Structure 1
């Protein structure tokens, strides 16, 4: 699915430029908003074009309907980024992805596993491969992956998401080695418990179950908290590389250990 619903500006950029995936909600949307506020030119992409249009009206960023699991759609993204930014690009922020289900390994749903791998790993790979030439040409490029503490710590019911995010983590680590000596940073931000409107709902398929994930947790992270960290990493002097930042709410000591308070 592709669309050219975007800002009409096509002049070469005078500011830092970024492509943000998964920008229709949650961390992706907050990141696009934050980078625009920081003065960046942003092309925000996701599958849900109606939400992107609302983001464009709010922030003035460019938008494009993109399915990162589809080669033709990513080719359209590459062409639009070239049109907007004159053939160079300063950052691609990989937020698109997510979790599906909490089945144990013995009851694994292979379709869900495949869906998680397609978005979190192959989608990030497809977009990176397509946009890396423009990042290299910029002389100041960043590839930023939003992974998860699930890439670092196994937990019951998390096996499919653990595996997918661990795969994305290794993609980032390998790419950093391969780009060593070039002016392209590879950054990984690994959030813990983040309360957004959709992550747990999509994973669990039920609003009551999604709400229970955060029940009794004092101040889980917000999408804006994660966008703050992403902004810091991208705006740091370019010789400073935040290889891996793990960010959790204070209430979370590990993926499976969260302080909960249920009143007196």
Structure 2
């Protein structure tokens, strides 16, 4: 049964400096239609109360509870975002409180009309600033929203996924900017590499996402070897480093090296062999087989 506004006032409380105030039982349970009518009365009361008094605080808190349905309504727009509903409601309450503190009866506008944009704006800001898996510039976050709208609109009209060239004029962006927005949209959500991917009828066939992505890079082992080798080469004598450079960087033959340095090919061979053995021994860790 619907509670009438007149029946909602049951008892009174004194704020110590102003006349007695009406007290509502369970303000959050008042139907929206009654809440709209009562809100006008309570906003008049709020304007007359001195901020910081018990009466002012009571009126403000009652307005918040009476209009919680506006938060529930606004939060419903975001139920497909994958965020906990309680988190969205809490953020929406912040928007409701801001709207109550800034509402002015003299504007002659319904409070619900004034409050919903505050609530929605606060929720959008929450998603924009805190729910992206990676940091994305704000202009691209906003472009992602426009991209989703334009994609839905054109998909319905064309009966297929729209091309970049078709999205650009609708979004009033260049094709390069549309592509940039599409790439940025990939940063909105993320999946753990430990996420289980069903692979068959039994749990034994399941695999982690990491097992299905990427492969070993053979260059990685080479990089590690170069990283270990560099200080060993630096420790060689200058002449030995020159020989290695001529042989393996300039790719000269031992005979050509001998002619350049004025020594025999046999001597070049012995010097290279000695340097390579020294490097090989340095590459082998203690306690391992060479």
Q: TM-score range by the shorter chain?
A: under 0.3
Structure number with higher strand proportion: 1
Q: TM-score, normalised by structure 1?
A: 0.22
Structure number with greater Rg is 2
Q: TM-score, normalised by structure 2?
A: 0.20
Higher RCO (Cα < 8 Å, 6 or more apart): 1
